[in-house]
Chain A
Amino acid sequence: MAFDVVASARQEREKQVSPVQRAVITGLIFGGFAFYFALVGILTNFHERWIIFDYISLGHALLIVVAGSAGLYLASKSRANSHAGLLMQGAGAGAITGLIMALLVFVIVNFNLRFIFVQLKKPLLDVLTFNLDPWAGAACLVAGGAAIGALGVLFFIMTPSLRRPLVAGLAAVGFTGLFQELIQLMIQNPSVMWLRQLIFNWDGLMLQGAAILFVLFAGIYAFWGWRREQITAGFNRLPVSQQKTVRVSSIALVAIIALLFPYVAGNFIGQVLMLVGLFTLMGMGLNLEIGLAGLLDLGFVAFYAVGAYTTALLTAHSDAAFMQLPYWLAMPIAVFFSICVGVLFGVPVLKVRGDYLAVATLGLGEIVRVIVLSDAAAPVLAGAQGILSIPRPFIGSFELDNPVALFYLTLVCSLIAAYIAWSLENSRLGRAWTAIRDDEDVAQALGINLVNVKLLAYGLGAAFAGLAGSIFAIMLGSIFPHSFQLIISINVLALIIVGGMGSLPGVALGALALIGLPELLREFGEYRFLFYGLVIVVMMRLRPEGLWPSASRRREMNVSEEERAAVEAELAASKAAAGKDA
């Protein structure tokens, strides 16, 4: 049994409910979400960040999104044709969502439950009542909820040519408002001062700036939607050789902009992208083990640790190190060492499958961390004190001493690793991995050497993590055992599930979503795992194959669709036959 993410074939039947019931149920569900966000403190926390300065905070934006989603959800589920009825339903659902929040206001004003629910206090009240008195605030919540719920429905039933520009404009405003600090940093240059003063002030996005952005992006999108056919027709009319030139040069342009972006964006973005790169590297390694060979490994962080510690012990300017090799020599040794540990790691779990394998590898990973932390190994590995003063690498006389330079190093390594992973996938070994993932026994019966193939999966997977660990060591300049917790393995696993198992672009996308985004939204760090859980549950419900699934994965998911269709056809046929008999 391999580790699989498979959607259940269970069919959900729509129960017959009246429109009123449906609106009430939807309102209660989404009201429940909002209630939960308020209770755990997300709302208060989000309220501290402005989207549009002095007008809309992130907290209020969240409430709007929840109430709007209630309307959207209703409209997407309903088969009723009447728009008026649908709008009423949406308004009803939104009002109920608002009502639940109004109830919360009532509770906060009249009771003191802070000894249990620490968040039920003044700041939350301020968010919910818009700094008005409680009754007016509660009325605003209900009325606003109804309006936004109806808007959600309206959003769903409007024509796509209208909706798309709206989405583009809103997304541009939301993105700019959320990341205004970073964007302002990027346009600090005096020559673009006018642009900055037009859109931002020191505290954030101005209303005028938001309006400009909205109009600009919605306009561009509307123009594209309107002229699209002419543009593509014009492109198709060009001779083939010119088409190719246009295509290649546009790809090159995008690539160059993407390449230069971290350089322009500065050290913070460089740092974030570098972490994304490291996790992409690890993701590609784990992807070989899980995505291709079906070996669920929860001890993956061990290889990361081995790569980091080997690098530190070989290069650091401290008493703990054995020697001071140049980094470029130490890196391949670190990778080699990780491969050895990966193979060693694989030996005891060769005969363990499925869920048991997950638990066994979990234990092995912890063993590595505990050894590194232990007093017994302290004379060699420096124990809890860690290893300090790991020097940055040089290229000629140029020291890679800032996050942007290190990001480019990570990028180069990732590209090489991606090429290796891609060729492995399409090799004989890759096919053998696919075979043991599907059925170990049959693979063996067809002449595949299980021992070699499995150990190679562990060893090569570990190589990627070792490389990531090695770069991690020079990035921080010092390493400590507590940097190598189980949670890193879990992060890597989560990112390949979200990205799409077995797919290389999926790994990069997953790393951006699960590592990059939370890193950019640091102040909400305590909700990071809540966010992870939510994303994974939602993904498994709506898109179990991942954000960017591999071709074979997409096909596998279609198998169950095909089977489902076949079963339904059979059922329909038997029903028809039964009908005839009767």
Chain B
Amino acid sequence: MALLEIDNLHVFYGQIHALRGVTINVEADKIITLIGANGAGKTTTLNAVSSILGAAEGSVTFADEDINDMAPHDVVAKGVVQVPEGRRIFGRLTVHENLRMGAFLRKDKAGINQSEEKMLEMFPVLRERLKQVAGTLSGGEQQMLAMARALMSEPSMLLLDEPSMGLAPMLVQQIFKTIQDIRDQGVSVLLVEQNAFMALQIADYGYVMETGVIVLEGSAKKLLNDDSVKEAYLG
């Protein structure tokens, strides 16, 4: 039984049939990646899991519980939290306030302090910038802040949307290394990426999506060596 099960999911934007029967399983303590071209429906899938979008058909089950009809904030309370595309930190709040915002649903003060300390150990740059307004951080630092903020809610499942977008290659390496660390600490990751090569290198299992359907799936190693994947995404 997988931790997160997306079964035959259909999503519409008005008349547009964006997801046409997507089935994805995320095992506990694994990194699962969802790769595909622009407009394939990757972000839509994440938004449907977070309940920001409603599904027309199909189910999303997390830890044996249907989360498809829940409100977005209840999904977060269950332990599934999304890091949205393009970082989107609260630019006018300080780094510290951003982190605190991530723990919005938690009420145990001591635990929140502990989590913050843990995040600052994981991302030492953030400690230097703790009192700084988040809008002044560099792109890489903002991405780290966005991830740390999401982790502040102590989720058991992290949905990452294009964490490498717009970052320098060095930083991308660092971010992906961190994603592995996150998994090793017992948080399952569903990683949506356009940078298929990097994503498959750290993932345990992968799905390839094209225009709203899963066209291929398999272990990350297998996909890395798959000819059609090579041709289409790894060039």
Contact = CB atoms under 8 A, between A and B. Distances in A.
B186 to A, nearest CB: 20
A386 B153 CA distance: 54
A434 B93 contact: yes
B37 interface: no
Given A431-B104, A445-B81, A445-B82, A555 B133 contact: yes
A87 B72 CA distance: 67
B52 A435 contact: no
A445 B88 CA distance: 11
A222 interface: no
B14 to A, nearest CB: 15
A434 B77 CA distance: 20
A124 B82 CA distance: 69
Which among A442, A444, A448, A552 has the greatest number of chain B C-beta atoms within 10 A? A442
A552 B97 CA distance: 11
Interface in B25-83: 50, 52, 71-73, 76-77, 81-82
A119 to B, nearest CB: 47
B90 A445 contact: no
Interface string B112-147: 000000000000000000000101100000000000
A446 interface: yes
B10 interface: no
Which among B52, B81, B92, B100 has the greatest number of chain A C-beta atoms within 10 A? B92
B119 to A, nearest CB: 14
Contacts of B150: 445-446
B91 A438 contact: yes
A447 to B, nearest CB: 3
A441 interface: yes
Contacts of A563: 135-136
B88 A441 contact: yes
Contact of A439 (B81, B82, B88, B133): B88
B135 A446 contact: no
Majority secondary structure, A binding face = helix
Contact of B136 (A428, A432, A562): A562
Interface string B159-191: 000000000000000000000000000000000
Given A445-B52, A446-B104, A448-B104, A438 B90 contact: yes
Interface string A341-371: 0000000000000000000000000000000
B81 to A, nearest CB: 7
A445 B72 contact: yes
B101 interface: yes
Given A555-B133, A563-B136, A446 B101 contact: yes
B212 interface: no
B84 A445 contact: yes
A393 to B, nearest CB: 41
Interface in A548-578: 552, 555-556, 558-559, 562-563, 566
Which among A445, A448, A555 has the greatest number of chain B C-beta atoms within 10 A? A445
Contacts of A432: 104
B8 to A, nearest CB: 24
A449 interface: yes
Contact of A438 (B76, B82, B92): B92
Contact of A441 (B84, B89, B100, B153): B84
B29 to A, nearest CB: 23
Interface in A445-459: 445-451
Contacts of B136: 559, 562-563, 566
Contacts of B90: 434-435, 438-439, 442
A43 to B, nearest CB: 44
A447 B73 contact: yes
Nearest to B107: A428
A388 B136 CA distance: 58
Nearest to B152: A446
Given A438-B92, A559-B133, A445 B50 contact: yes
A447 B133 contact: no
Nearest to A447: B76
Nearest to A566: B136
Contact of A448 (B73, B84, B88): B73
Given A439-B90, A441-B84, A559 B72 contact: no
A551 B162 CA distance: 34
B102 interface: yes
Nearest to A453: B73
B216 interface: no
B73 A449 contact: yes
Contacts of A446: 76, 81, 101-102, 104, 149-150, 153
Contacts of B50: 445
A447 B84 contact: no
B105 interface: yes
A563 B71 CA distance: 38
A431 B100 contact: yes
Contacts of A441: 52, 84, 88
Contacts of B72: 444-445, 447, 450
A443 B98 CA distance: 11
Nearest to B90: A438
Given A434-B93, A439-B88, A563-B136, A444 B105 contact: no
A445 B52 CA distance: 8
Contacts of A552: 92-93
Given A445-B50, A445-B81, A431 B73 contact: no
Contacts of B88: 439, 441-442
A342 B51 CA distance: 28
Contacts of B97: 431
Nearest to B77: A447
B104 A435 contact: yes
B226 to A, nearest CB: 33
A562 B97 CA distance: 19
Contacts of B135: 559, 563
Interface of B: 50, 52, 71-73, 76-77, 81-82, 84, 88-93, 97, 100-102, 104-105, 133, 135-136, 149-150, 153
10 contacts: A431-B104, A438-B90, A442-B84, A444-B72, A446-B81, A446-B101, A447-B77, A447-B153, A555-B133, A558-B133
Nearest 5 pairs between A and B by C-beta?
A: A447-B76, A438-B90, A447-B105, A449-B73, A447-B73
Given A441-B52, A556-B133, 14 more contacts: A431-B97, A434-B93, A435-B90, A438-B93, A442-B84, A444-B52, A444-B72, A445-B50, A445-B82, A445-B150, A446-B101, A448-B73, A449-B71, A559-B135
